[in-house]
Amino acid sequence: MKPTSIIFIIIAVMMASVGLLLCFTASNMANDQGVALFTQTGDADSNYTSVHEFDGAAVKKLVLNMSDTTVNIFGGADSNRVEMVNFPDGTYDLSIGKSTLQLSNASGIGSFIDIDNFKINFNGFRDYLHYFKYRNKKTSVNVYFTDDASAIILSVTSGGDVNLQDLRLDCDYKVIVSKGDVNVSNVKTDSSIDIDSTDDSSVNISASSFNEIIVNGVTAYTEIKNTTFTRSMYINIKSGSVSYDRLEPDFTGFNLLLRADSGVIKYNSERIINGKYEEKNYIDISADTGEDDDTGADSGEDGDHEGEDEVGGEGETTTAAEGTEPEVPVNSTQIPAYSVTIILGEGNIEVY
Protein backbone atom coordinates (compact mmCIF):
# COMPACT_ATOMS: atom_id res chain seq x y z
CA MET A 1 0.00 0.00 0.00
CA LYS A 2 1.27 3.44 -0.92
CA PRO A 3 2.26 5.83 1.86
CA THR A 4 -0.34 8.37 0.66
CA SER A 5 -3.08 5.74 0.98
CA ILE A 6 -1.99 4.91 4.50
CA ILE A 7 -2.01 8.61 5.39
CA PHE A 8 -5.55 9.02 4.04
CA ILE A 9 -6.74 5.97 6.01
CA ILE A 10 -5.20 7.34 9.21
CA ILE A 11 -6.81 10.74 8.62
CA ALA A 12 -10.20 9.09 7.95
CA VAL A 13 -10.01 7.04 11.15
CA MET A 14 -9.02 10.13 13.14
CA MET A 15 -11.93 12.12 11.68
CA ALA A 16 -14.38 9.32 12.42
CA SER A 17 -13.10 9.09 15.99
CA VAL A 18 -13.45 12.82 16.48
CA GLY A 19 -16.97 12.63 15.01
CA LEU A 20 -17.94 9.87 17.40
CA LEU A 21 -16.53 11.79 20.36
CA LEU A 22 -18.40 14.94 19.36
CA CYS A 23 -21.65 12.99 18.89
CA PHE A 24 -21.42 11.39 22.32
CA THR A 25 -20.51 14.74 23.89
CA ALA A 26 -23.40 16.51 22.15
CA SER A 27 -25.79 13.74 23.16
CA ASN A 28 -24.79 14.03 26.81
CA MET A 29 -25.07 17.81 26.73
CA ALA A 30 -28.48 17.60 25.05
CA ASN A 31 -29.73 15.18 27.68
CA ASP A 32 -28.54 17.46 30.48
CA GLN A 33 -30.23 20.50 28.90
CA GLY A 34 -33.39 18.72 27.68
CA VAL A 35 -32.65 19.44 24.01
CA ALA A 36 -33.74 16.95 21.29
CA LEU A 37 -31.05 16.10 18.76
CA PHE A 38 -33.42 14.19 16.44
CA THR A 39 -36.92 14.59 15.06
CA GLN A 40 -38.00 11.35 16.74
CA THR A 41 -39.19 11.30 20.31
CA GLY A 42 -38.86 8.25 22.55
CA ASP A 43 -41.57 6.74 24.69
CA ALA A 44 -41.39 4.61 27.84
CA ASP A 45 -40.65 1.51 25.76
CA SER A 46 -37.80 3.25 23.89
CA ASN A 47 -39.77 3.39 20.65
CA TYR A 48 -39.00 6.49 18.61
CA THR A 49 -41.70 8.32 16.68
CA SER A 50 -41.63 11.14 14.15
CA VAL A 51 -44.91 12.93 13.39
CA HIS A 52 -45.95 14.48 10.06
CA GLU A 53 -49.25 16.36 9.83
CA PHE A 54 -51.24 16.80 6.62
CA ASP A 55 -54.35 18.66 5.45
CA GLY A 56 -57.23 16.20 5.68
CA ALA A 57 -59.46 18.40 3.51
CA ALA A 58 -56.92 18.66 0.69
CA VAL A 59 -55.47 15.14 0.56
CA LYS A 60 -57.74 12.93 -1.56
CA LYS A 61 -55.46 9.96 -2.18
CA LEU A 62 -53.13 8.04 0.13
CA VAL A 63 -50.66 5.49 -1.23
CA LEU A 64 -48.59 3.52 1.28
CA ASN A 65 -46.05 0.96 0.10
CA MET A 66 -44.24 -0.57 3.06
CA SER A 67 -42.14 -3.71 3.51
CA ASP A 68 -42.27 -5.82 6.68
CA THR A 69 -44.03 -3.01 8.52
CA THR A 70 -47.27 -2.89 10.48
CA VAL A 71 -49.66 -0.26 9.11
CA ASN A 72 -52.39 1.09 11.39
CA ILE A 73 -55.01 3.48 10.05
CA PHE A 74 -57.41 5.03 12.56
CA GLY A 75 -60.39 7.32 12.28
CA GLY A 76 -61.94 9.67 14.82
CA ALA A 77 -58.64 11.40 15.54
CA ASP A 78 -58.17 15.00 16.67
CA SER A 79 -55.75 15.74 13.80
CA ASN A 80 -54.67 14.29 10.46
CA ARG A 81 -51.15 12.96 10.81
CA VAL A 82 -48.69 10.18 10.02
CA GLU A 83 -46.57 8.68 12.77
CA MET A 84 -43.38 6.83 11.77
CA VAL A 85 -42.40 4.53 14.65
CA ASN A 86 -38.76 3.38 14.81
CA PHE A 87 -37.87 4.79 11.39
CA PRO A 88 -34.59 6.72 11.53
CA ASP A 89 -34.34 9.86 9.41
CA GLY A 90 -33.50 8.98 5.83
CA THR A 91 -34.99 5.47 5.86
CA TYR A 92 -38.39 6.42 4.42
CA ASP A 93 -39.74 8.65 1.69
CA LEU A 94 -42.80 10.69 2.60
CA SER A 95 -44.29 13.00 0.00
CA ILE A 96 -47.31 15.19 0.75
CA GLY A 97 -48.55 16.97 -2.36
CA LYS A 98 -51.61 19.10 -2.98
CA SER A 99 -53.97 16.13 -3.14
CA THR A 100 -51.81 13.00 -2.69
CA LEU A 101 -49.86 11.56 0.21
CA GLN A 102 -47.29 8.90 -0.71
CA LEU A 103 -45.15 6.90 1.69
CA SER A 104 -42.60 4.17 1.12
CA ASN A 105 -39.72 2.79 3.14
CA ALA A 106 -36.23 1.55 2.34
CA SER A 107 -34.36 -0.83 4.63
CA GLY A 108 -30.64 -0.63 5.26
CA ILE A 109 -28.15 2.09 5.98
CA GLY A 110 -27.56 2.56 2.25
CA SER A 111 -30.86 4.42 2.00
CA PHE A 112 -29.10 7.50 3.36
CA ILE A 113 -27.70 7.95 -0.16
CA ASP A 114 -30.03 7.92 -3.19
CA ILE A 115 -27.66 7.84 -6.16
CA ASP A 116 -30.38 7.43 -8.81
CA ASN A 117 -32.01 10.70 -7.83
CA PHE A 118 -28.76 12.45 -6.88
CA LYS A 119 -30.07 12.84 -3.36
CA ILE A 120 -28.21 12.48 -0.08
CA ASN A 121 -30.38 11.86 2.97
CA PHE A 122 -27.57 12.65 5.36
CA ASN A 123 -27.96 15.01 8.27
CA GLY A 124 -24.61 14.31 9.84
CA PHE A 125 -22.71 11.39 11.36
CA ARG A 126 -25.22 11.35 14.20
CA ASP A 127 -27.81 9.84 11.81
CA TYR A 128 -25.71 6.70 11.48
CA LEU A 129 -25.41 6.40 15.24
CA HIS A 130 -29.14 6.98 15.60
CA TYR A 131 -29.82 4.33 12.96
CA PHE A 132 -27.83 1.66 14.80
CA LYS A 133 -29.48 2.69 18.06
CA TYR A 134 -32.78 1.05 17.14
CA ARG A 135 -32.29 -0.58 13.74
CA ASN A 136 -33.62 -3.94 15.04
CA LYS A 137 -36.78 -2.52 16.62
CA LYS A 138 -40.15 -3.37 15.12
CA THR A 139 -41.38 -0.62 12.81
CA SER A 140 -44.93 0.60 12.34
CA VAL A 141 -46.80 3.37 10.57
CA ASN A 142 -49.81 4.99 12.23
CA VAL A 143 -52.10 7.14 10.08
CA TYR A 144 -54.78 9.18 11.84
CA PHE A 145 -57.83 10.78 10.19
CA THR A 146 -60.38 13.17 11.58
CA ASP A 147 -64.01 12.37 10.83
CA ASP A 148 -64.24 15.26 8.35
CA ALA A 149 -61.24 14.16 6.24
CA SER A 150 -61.91 13.99 2.50
CA ALA A 151 -59.84 11.07 1.18
CA ILE A 152 -61.51 9.12 -1.64
CA ILE A 153 -58.77 6.54 -2.33
CA LEU A 154 -56.71 4.69 0.27
CA SER A 155 -54.20 2.14 -1.02
CA VAL A 156 -51.93 0.13 1.28
CA THR A 157 -49.32 -2.45 0.27
CA SER A 158 -47.39 -4.05 3.11
CA GLY A 159 -45.37 -7.09 4.06
CA GLY A 160 -46.70 -6.74 7.60
CA ASP A 161 -50.09 -6.45 9.23
CA VAL A 162 -52.64 -3.88 8.11
CA ASN A 163 -55.26 -2.66 10.60
CA LEU A 164 -58.17 -0.38 9.67
CA GLN A 165 -60.27 0.86 12.57
CA ASP A 166 -63.08 3.37 13.26
CA LEU A 167 -62.94 4.94 9.80
CA ARG A 168 -65.70 7.03 8.23
CA LEU A 169 -63.91 7.97 5.02
CA ASP A 170 -66.21 7.61 2.03
CA CYS A 171 -63.44 6.13 -0.06
CA ASP A 172 -62.25 3.03 -1.90
CA TYR A 173 -60.03 0.86 0.29
CA LYS A 174 -57.39 -1.27 -1.45
CA VAL A 175 -55.15 -3.49 0.71
CA ILE A 176 -52.41 -5.82 -0.55
CA VAL A 177 -50.48 -7.95 1.93
CA SER A 178 -48.02 -10.81 1.61
CA LYS A 179 -47.54 -12.57 4.93
CA GLY A 180 -49.30 -9.97 7.00
CA ASP A 181 -52.82 -10.11 8.40
CA VAL A 182 -55.66 -7.70 7.63
CA ASN A 183 -58.01 -6.57 10.39
CA VAL A 184 -60.95 -4.31 9.58
CA SER A 185 -63.12 -3.10 12.44
CA ASN A 186 -65.88 -0.49 12.53
CA VAL A 187 -65.23 0.86 9.03
CA LYS A 188 -68.19 2.34 7.14
CA THR A 189 -68.22 3.61 3.57
CA ASP A 190 -70.57 3.75 0.58
CA SER A 191 -67.72 2.46 -1.58
CA SER A 192 -65.73 -0.79 -1.64
CA ILE A 193 -62.99 -2.65 0.19
CA ASP A 194 -60.66 -4.81 -1.91
CA ILE A 195 -58.21 -7.10 -0.09
CA ASP A 196 -55.55 -9.15 -1.86
CA SER A 197 -53.37 -11.68 -0.03
CA THR A 198 -50.38 -12.82 -2.07
CA ASP A 199 -49.08 -15.34 0.46
CA ASP A 200 -50.28 -16.65 3.83
CA SER A 201 -52.62 -14.27 5.67
CA SER A 202 -55.73 -14.00 7.75
CA VAL A 203 -58.49 -11.53 6.92
CA ASN A 204 -60.90 -10.39 9.62
CA ILE A 205 -63.76 -7.97 8.91
CA SER A 206 -66.17 -7.03 11.69
CA ALA A 207 -68.78 -4.40 12.57
CA SER A 208 -68.43 -2.68 9.19
CA SER A 209 -70.48 -1.76 6.13
CA PHE A 210 -69.49 -1.38 2.47
CA ASN A 211 -70.99 -1.24 -0.96
CA GLU A 212 -68.76 -4.13 -2.08
CA ILE A 213 -66.46 -6.57 -0.30
CA ILE A 214 -63.77 -8.26 -2.39
CA VAL A 215 -61.19 -10.72 -1.06
CA ASN A 216 -58.69 -12.54 -3.30
CA GLY A 217 -55.99 -14.73 -1.81
CA VAL A 218 -53.43 -17.44 -2.36
CA THR A 219 -53.68 -18.73 1.22
CA ALA A 220 -56.12 -16.79 3.37
CA TYR A 221 -58.23 -17.54 6.42
CA THR A 222 -61.17 -15.17 6.17
CA GLU A 223 -63.75 -14.32 8.81
CA ILE A 224 -66.56 -11.83 8.25
CA LYS A 225 -69.09 -11.04 10.97
CA ASN A 226 -71.52 -8.28 11.95
CA THR A 227 -70.87 -6.71 8.55
CA THR A 228 -73.22 -5.60 5.77
CA PHE A 229 -72.80 -4.82 2.08
CA THR A 230 -75.13 -3.13 -0.40
CA ARG A 231 -74.18 -4.50 -3.81
CA SER A 232 -72.07 -7.66 -3.58
CA MET A 233 -69.50 -9.77 -1.82
CA TYR A 234 -66.88 -11.74 -3.75
CA ILE A 235 -64.29 -14.05 -2.15
CA ASN A 236 -61.91 -16.19 -4.22
CA ILE A 237 -59.16 -18.05 -2.34
CA LYS A 238 -56.94 -20.91 -3.48
CA SER A 239 -56.59 -22.44 -0.02
CA GLY A 240 -57.62 -21.61 3.52
CA SER A 241 -61.11 -21.15 4.96
CA VAL A 242 -64.05 -18.76 4.90
CA SER A 243 -66.40 -18.09 7.80
CA TYR A 244 -69.29 -15.69 7.17
CA ASP A 245 -71.63 -14.90 10.04
CA ARG A 246 -74.23 -12.80 8.27
CA LEU A 247 -76.59 -10.24 9.77
CA GLU A 248 -79.29 -10.77 7.12
CA PRO A 249 -81.92 -13.47 7.83
CA ASP A 250 -81.52 -14.85 4.29
CA PHE A 251 -80.15 -13.96 0.84
CA THR A 252 -83.35 -12.53 -0.60
CA GLY A 253 -82.44 -10.25 -3.51
CA PHE A 254 -78.94 -11.74 -3.88
CA ASN A 255 -77.71 -14.61 -6.01
CA LEU A 256 -75.65 -16.98 -3.90
CA LEU A 257 -72.79 -19.22 -5.03
CA LEU A 258 -70.74 -21.24 -2.56
CA ARG A 259 -68.09 -23.49 -4.05
CA ALA A 260 -65.45 -25.66 -2.40
CA ASP A 261 -63.50 -27.67 -4.95
CA SER A 262 -61.79 -29.67 -2.21
CA GLY A 263 -63.51 -29.14 1.10
CA VAL A 264 -66.82 -28.87 2.93
CA ILE A 265 -69.59 -26.30 2.55
CA LYS A 266 -71.80 -25.75 5.61
CA TYR A 267 -74.87 -23.59 5.02
CA ASN A 268 -78.09 -23.83 7.00
CA SER A 269 -78.83 -27.57 7.16
CA GLU A 270 -76.68 -28.38 4.14
CA ARG A 271 -73.32 -30.08 4.30
CA ILE A 272 -71.75 -30.47 0.87
CA ILE A 273 -68.37 -32.01 0.11
CA ASN A 274 -66.31 -31.09 -2.94
CA GLY A 275 -69.15 -29.30 -4.66
CA LYS A 276 -71.27 -26.17 -4.71
CA TYR A 277 -74.49 -24.61 -3.49
CA GLU A 278 -76.48 -22.04 -5.45
CA GLU A 279 -79.50 -19.82 -4.96
CA LYS A 280 -80.86 -17.68 -7.80
CA ASN A 281 -82.63 -14.81 -6.09
CA TYR A 282 -81.68 -11.96 -8.41
CA ILE A 283 -82.91 -12.47 -11.96
CA ASP A 284 -80.87 -9.75 -13.72
CA ILE A 285 -77.46 -11.25 -12.96
CA SER A 286 -77.11 -12.23 -16.65
CA ALA A 287 -76.57 -8.58 -17.50
CA ASP A 288 -73.21 -8.80 -15.70
CA THR A 289 -72.12 -12.38 -16.35
CA GLY A 290 -73.58 -13.28 -19.72
CA GLU A 291 -74.99 -16.49 -18.25
CA ASP A 292 -78.49 -17.72 -18.95
CA ASP A 293 -81.06 -16.70 -16.38
CA ASP A 294 -82.84 -19.28 -14.34
CA THR A 295 -86.19 -17.59 -14.79
CA GLY A 296 -87.89 -20.22 -12.68
CA ALA A 297 -85.89 -19.23 -9.60
CA ASP A 298 -87.95 -16.83 -7.55
CA SER A 299 -86.79 -14.89 -4.52
CA GLY A 300 -86.57 -17.06 -1.45
CA GLU A 301 -86.39 -20.31 -3.46
CA ASP A 302 -84.32 -23.05 -1.91
CA GLY A 303 -81.97 -22.98 -4.90
CA ASP A 304 -79.96 -25.66 -6.68
CA HIS A 305 -77.97 -28.04 -4.52
CA GLU A 306 -74.98 -29.53 -6.23
CA GLY A 307 -72.29 -31.56 -4.57
CA GLU A 308 -71.94 -34.61 -2.47
CA ASP A 309 -74.53 -34.25 0.28
CA GLU A 310 -73.66 -36.13 3.44
CA VAL A 311 -76.90 -35.42 5.25
CA GLY A 312 -79.01 -37.36 2.78
CA GLY A 313 -80.57 -34.33 1.10
CA GLU A 314 -82.43 -34.79 -2.15
CA GLY A 315 -80.37 -32.21 -4.04
CA GLU A 316 -78.49 -33.14 -7.18
CA THR A 317 -75.16 -34.81 -6.37
CA THR A 318 -72.19 -33.75 -8.49
CA THR A 319 -68.65 -32.56 -8.00
CA ALA A 320 -67.15 -29.32 -9.25
CA ALA A 321 -65.97 -29.69 -12.81
CA GLU A 322 -62.32 -29.08 -13.54
CA GLY A 323 -61.43 -25.93 -15.41
CA THR A 324 -64.64 -24.12 -14.47
CA GLU A 325 -63.11 -21.73 -11.97
CA PRO A 326 -63.99 -18.13 -12.91
CA GLU A 327 -61.27 -15.61 -13.42
CA VAL A 328 -60.37 -13.38 -10.50
CA PRO A 329 -61.93 -9.95 -11.14
CA VAL A 330 -59.53 -7.14 -11.94
CA ASN A 331 -61.84 -4.54 -10.44
CA SER A 332 -65.28 -4.18 -8.94
CA THR A 333 -67.00 -3.60 -12.30
CA GLN A 334 -66.54 -7.32 -13.04
CA ILE A 335 -68.35 -8.40 -9.86
CA PRO A 336 -71.95 -9.44 -10.59
CA ALA A 337 -74.47 -7.06 -9.07
CA TYR A 338 -76.42 -8.22 -6.03
CA SER A 339 -74.49 -11.43 -5.55
CA VAL A 340 -72.64 -13.34 -2.87
CA THR A 341 -69.85 -15.47 -4.30
CA ILE A 342 -67.45 -17.55 -2.21
CA ILE A 343 -65.01 -19.79 -4.10
CA LEU A 344 -62.42 -21.86 -2.28
CA GLY A 345 -59.99 -24.17 -4.04
CA GLU A 346 -59.02 -26.11 -0.94
CA GLY A 347 -60.62 -25.67 2.47
CA ASN A 348 -63.97 -25.22 4.17
CA ILE A 349 -66.76 -22.66 3.81
CA GLU A 350 -69.15 -21.91 6.66
CA VAL A 351 -72.09 -19.54 6.33
CA TYR A 352 -74.23 -18.99 9.44
Three-state secondary-structure class, residue 152 = coil
Q: Name residue 83's beta-bridge partners.
A: 51, 142
* Helix residue ranges, H only, 134-191: none
Q: Show Cβ contacts of residue 266 under 8 Å, excluding neighbours closer than 6 positions.
A: 348, 349, 350, 351
User: How crowded is residue 73: how many other Cβ atoms within 10 Å of its Cβ?
Assistant: 25
How far is the first Cα of the chain from the last one, in angstroms, to the nearest whole number?
A: 77
User: How far apart are alpha carbons 134 and 83 in whole angstroms?
Assistant: 16
pLDDT in tens, the chain (352 residues): 677 878 878 887 787 677 667 656 765 665 666 555 555 555 656 788 889 999 999 999 999 999 889 999 999 999 999 999 988 777 889 999 989 999 998 644 444 444 444 444 445 555 555 556 666 788 999 999 999 999 999 999 999 999 999 999 999 999 999 989 999 999 999 999 999 999 999 999 999 999 999 999 999 999 999 999 999 999 999 999 999 999 988 999 999 999 999 999 999 889 999 999 999 998 764 454 444 444 444 444 444 444 444 443 333 333 344 444 445 455 556 788 999 999 999 999 999 9
Q: Are the beta carbons of 195 and 182 closer than 8 angstroms?
A: yes
Three-state secondary-structure class, residue 98 = coil
Whole-Å CA distances, 317 to 35, 69, 143, 144, 312: 75, 47, 51, 52, 10
User: How far apart are alpha carbons 204 and 222 in whole angstroms?
Assistant: 6
Please give the full DSSP string across 230-297, using - where no structure is assigned. EEEEEEEEEEEEEEEE-SSSS-TTSEEEEEEEEEEEEETTEEEEEEEEEE---GGGHHHH-PPP-TT-
Whole-Å CA distances, 13 to 17, 19, 122, 138: 6, 10, 19, 32
User: How far apart are alpha carbons 44 and 134 in whole angstroms?
Assistant: 14
